[in-house]
Chain A
């Protein structure tokens, strides 16, 4: 069929060509019809603000009044802004550590729970609850537990004769402290992994074991491929969450914004400060757009690579 569409010289009846094309058009129409709610919402609630932000990034807009175009001035200023570089570094440090760690731990726990353990409902609930505790409350609990002088963690460590670090108040331990806080909330991806694992058909495992596949082999060649669509899902979403890290840092470092030194100035925090405290909306729009581009590139790489390691049982695509 494709040959017919490509070679104009071939003696192909016009009817077949037309039929092929109209079938394609029909498919596009049906597809678009189903996704139309999203398309409408996208046009109405996303496109305008997105292009407005892009536009503002080339202006000196303060949030009110006229916006004067100033070309790439904001973007040049970004690269000379040491705080921009610092906040970018901090956010990507956090992402680079938190993303793999949380994926491995969440997946590991889900695999563990999937092994017909007694009391699974209980364990599952316990691991999940931290991710639904209100953010402000979980921040306060952590700050308290990890308080260098009065906190439970350091008092436990001192009982083991290990000097406890200054956690959130130490230049080198502040980011790891936030990472720990983030890991505490990995109940959500874990629960999704577990659900996916429980959906893997048992007969696949049976066949594999009958052929002599050991448990490790089954894990690598049956389990993981079968849930790979969900792994992709969680990784992409967790990337977005890590890159837009804001609330926890704002709450915990409210007295010393940016933490000890500038170790916990996160990107979105700086963006918020520029937009709403310094009234430099144009500049913060440039920051926002810059982050968008970087994250889009990472996501593209992830999705493109996914065709090599993600397996969809529903169809061969």
Chain B
């Protein structure tokens, strides 16, 4: 049962030798370094193997990919699979569409979700928790159950055919994921900070924009990254609302490759790898920015 963090009561007067030992004592480790690396290595194999398989398959020729018993190493390495499949569909246009879609929704999410999260996290008002529960409940309704009325609604607003049905709601806090995440992190910021500002006469918006937001930079960076990745892989949404092929995002473009070249496994794998690589690179280089601790505690302020 997890309880609030406790510290043990202090021991009775320490002996001189114990004091000396404590100054040089390093915290005991739960696991030895070797065990840690062993476990990590096992999981790396488990997680990485399908990825490796995907990449290796993308470099094989089709008959080789289907061979039984299984052939591991491509012979020869068909690097050409990649340019071939990228040129077979309007790959770069799909990427551009996806980037535009992601950029707009990121702006929407950053603006609205942070405001809403602040209201749920840093203010106390009657009905707040009930409303928060209602917001969570909106996640529980299956998408296909409400699709038809939703589609009719969007058509009334003349939003069908473009990305608008997917973009405009993000300006209205539609990303419950982001709002929830930010709310949880805002709640870890000591109330004392806000109180001090209030005593100084600051209004809530000032506190939100000048105090809370700057402290929550890593959390916001997380939200941006996850929203980007969500847009990159969003499939069902654009499928329903976008009609014009020129506007399709990469996720749907990938399914075209699958449909068109379904008998060419290496090409399908190459397309998948090409679609994944950009966000992998993005993640690898940005992970430090938001990994620096998305809870305010990391800054070392003593509450």
A and B touch in the complex (CB under 8 A): yes
Contact A41 B169 (CB under 8 A): yes
* Residue pair B144, A272 in contact (C-beta under 8 Å): yes
Chain A residues positioned under 8 Å from B50 (CB to CB):
130, 138, 141-142, 145, 184
Q: Are B276 and A132 in contact (CB under 8 A)?
A: yes
Of the listed stretches A2-10, A75-83, A220-228, chain B binds A220-228
Given A38-B179, A199-B296, A201-B297, check contact A134 B272 (CB 8 Å): yes
Does chain B have a CB within 8 A of A150?
yes
Task: Indicate the member of A35, A144, A237 with the most B CB atoms within 10 Å.
Answer: A35
In the bound complex, CA of A33 to CA of B171 (Å): 15
User: What's the Cα separation between A213 and B5 when bound, in Å?
Assistant: 12
> Which residues on B sit within 8 Å (CB–CB) of A200?
295, 297-298
Contact A117:B40 (CB < 8 A) given known A34-B116, A137-B254, A292-B141:
yes
**Residues from 189 to 235 in B contacting A, C-beta threshold 8 Å:** 189-191, 204, 208, 218, 222, 226, 229, 232-233, 235
Per-residue CB proximity of A48-70 to B under 8 Å, as 1/0? 11101100100000010000000
Known interface pairs A126-B48, A192-B222; A112-B140 also in contact (CB < 8 Å): no
Instruction: Number of B interface residues at 8 Å Cβ cutoff, please give it.
Output: 124
Say whether B8 contacts A211, CB under 8 Å. Answer: yes
Q: A41 near B174 (CB under 8 angstroms)?
A: yes
Q: Are A281 and B142 in contact (CB under 8 A)?
A: no
Comparing A96-104, A171-179, A202-210, the segment that makes contact with chain B is A202-210
The residues of B that contact A117 with a CB separation of less than 8 Å are: 36-37, 40
**A137, A198, A227, A233: which contacts B54 (Cβ < 8 A)?**
A137
Expressed in whole angstroms, the Cα–Cα distance for A214 and B29 within the complex equals 9
| Least CB distance, B119 to chain A, in whole angstroms | 3
Residue of chain B at shortest CB distance from A293: B140
Question: Are A275 and B144 neighbours in the complex by a CB distance under 8 Å?
Answer: yes
B140 touches A295 (CB 8 A): yes
Which of B138, B204, B208, B283 is in CB contact (< 8 Å) with A46?
B138
A157 located at the interface, meaning its Cβ lies under 8 Å from any Cβ of chain B in the complex? no
Interface-lining segment among A11-19, A162-170, A257-265, A306-314 = A306-314
CB contact between B125 and one of A28, A41, A226, A227 (< 8 Å): that residue: A28
A240 interfacial by beta-carbon distance below 8 Å: yes
Chain B 1-30 interface mask (CB, 8 Å, partner A; 1/0) = 111111111110000000000100001111
Q: Is the CB–CB distance between A41 and B149 below 8 Å?
A: no
- Cβ contacts under 8 Å, B51 to chain A: 126, 129-130, 133
Establish whether residues A37 and B115, one from each chain, have CB atoms under 8 Å apart when the complex forms.
yes
* The one of A46, A198, A276 that contacts B293, using a Cβ cutoff of 8 Å: A198
CB distance from A27 to the nearest CB of B (A): 4
Task: Check B78 for interface membership: any CB of A closer than 8 A.
Answer: no
Inter-chain contact A50/B2, CB cutoff 8 Å = no
Smallest distance from the beta carbon of A230 to chain B beta carbons, Å? Answer: 6
Given contacts A127-B43, A150-B70, contact A44 B172 (CB under 8 A): yes
Q: Cβ of A49 and Cβ of B284 under 8 Å apart?
A: no
Nearest B residue to A64, CB-CB: B148
With an 8 A cutoff between CB atoms, is A86 at the interface? Answer: no
Q: Tell me, in angstroms, the Cα distance from A233 to B54 when the chains sit together.
A: 32
How far apart are the CA atoms of A39 and B173 in the complex, in Å? 8
With a CB–CB cut-off of 8 A, which chain A residues contact B48? 126
In the complex, what residues of A have CB within 8 A of residue B235's CB?
A: 134-136, 247
Establish whether residues B120 and A41, one from each chain, have CB atoms under 8 Å apart when the complex forms: no
Interface centre among A137, A151, A288 (most CB of B within 10 A): A137
- The answer to whether B128 touches A195 (Cβ under 8 A) is no
Contact yes or no, A314 B39, CB < 8 A: no
Known A35-B173, A48-B149, A141-B269: A199·B137 in contact at CB below 8 Å: no
Closest B residue to A288 using CB positions? B145
A38, B112: Cβ atoms under 8 Å? yes
Does B150 have its Cβ within 8 Å of any Cβ on chain A?
Answer: yes
Question: CB within 8 Å of B: which of A265-317?
Answer: 268, 271-272, 275-276, 281, 284-285, 287-289, 291-292, 295-296, 299-300, 303, 309, 311-315
Q: Which residues of A contact B (CB under 8 A)?
A: 24, 27-28, 30-35, 37-42, 44-46, 48-50, 52-53, 56, 63, 109, 112-113, 115, 117, 121, 123-130, 132-138, 140-142, 144-145, 149-152, 155, 184, 187-188, 191-192, 194-196, 198-205, 207-216, 218-222, 224-230, 232-233, 236-237, 240, 243-244, 246-247, 268, 271-272, 275-276, 281, 284-285, 287-289, 291-292, 295-296, 299-300, 303, 309, 311-315
Q: 27 interchain pairs (CB within 8 A)? A: A34-B116, A35-B131, A49-B149, A121-B287, A123-B44, A127-B43, A130-B50, A132-B229, A135-B235, A150-B68, A195-B293, A199-B293, A199-B294, A199-B295, A199-B296, A204-B5, A209-B28, A210-B22, A215-B28, A216-B30, A218-B27, A224-B2, A227-B295, A275-B147, A291-B145, A309-B3, A311-B5
Closest 3 CB pairs of A and B: A288-B145, A41-B172, A199-B295
Instruction: Beyond the given A30-B119, A220-B2, A244-B142, please list 19 additional residue pairs across the A-B interface where CB-CB is below 8 A.
Output: A45-B172, A117-B37, A129-B47, A132-B283, A141-B269, A145-B50, A150-B68, A198-B291, A199-B297, A205-B27, A212-B8, A215-B28, A215-B29, A229-B188, A230-B184, A233-B180, A247-B235, A271-B142, A314-B121
